[in-house]
Structure 1
């Protein structure tokens, strides 16, 4: 977890004014960014190490960075300023979101409920788009997840025809795969990607979503109660392999009685003769 440190001195008036704002920000950021206070007159080595020349001084320590690497704080001194700056840094340093396959109600609910948006892609049947093809789609989705990780969206995918209730609720089904929708679970509404399921098509769609300027309006989920998400059937996750057609049993033609066909030919000849 990232840490934001406030270096102060007991005699510093600006430090005393900042203290209540800092305390409120610490409460709001709990679980995301830790906020701490250091008395620089006691911990003089730390103050020297980080080049503290005045008070108060705020330093940001990104999660995962070694050797105590710190960044200078460049935000304001109100609670909202501190929180906004810290959250922006937090989102920039978190790993990209995973792209989950929808295999159960729990997967959909845990990733979509309460989220601003969850991006769901409907990928072709494995027989129509084998493992290399599917992995390329998923790779592209992960790339977009990285690009838009600061938005806090969740990313999911499902094979075509695997979840008919979900497809019906967002007006997708029967054709047009791959496809993509964005669901706002708080509003119980969704919007469909109208362009091509390609890097450029999805990029334009996500830019609209991020800016809040959609060319198509949000539509209520069909057949879904308020505050709920579409019903999901339990299914086995993809094994990562190519698809195979079911084996067809060979038919021994020697077991087939051809007499009826011969009789039919004879009858047709008689009709022609008439």
Structure 2
């Protein structure tokens, strides 16, 4: 019942926004702002199974590849930097510099080295997503309770076991926060990377509709992109809640105590 209630609450605002859009645009004669009814008609005609296989699935594959690679690199580097004070002192200025560089600015540079294929698009996603994961992992590792570390050491939990059984679980709430931020960035960069020298993908298709003045189809692509982002965010929250069930139980116990 709680799941149904949370789902209803999550869908309430989008439903209200779509209802308002429908009412306000019903009599629109503006070429660039067609009625929502026309956009939804174009949605059904445009996003067939063949179009989804040709454009949406490649985008999702690039998104997942870049996001997972960024997660592995960010967590691994974050643990190493968080555990080593000297390495952290050396790396932090460099990390802050690269974190401040907007990934879309580097798309032309990445194209020079990686070409215009899928590798370029995945690298763009990785470059943008790795920083929130890495920095949140560093902060999570640094925040691990010293008493917990000493207790683990006294029981002989050292080396890789110390990382997998003590440090990563303790830092997992902070790591999850970084992954959540990175997911939204990944969706944005997926679209941006497909607007440069691409032949398929959701971003490429939306730009093609815009260039061909197929405005209802363009809006339908934007709606589909929003639906994908909403669905991925919802799935991530469900997975996060399941993985961090122990943490939520601990917080609930602390509040009740």
TM-score by length of 1: 0.22
Per chain length, whose mean CA-contact separation is higher, i.e. which structure has more relative contact order (CA < 8 Å, sep 6+)?
2
Larger Rg: 1
- Please state which structure has a larger fraction of its residues in strand: 1
TM-score by length of 2: 0.23
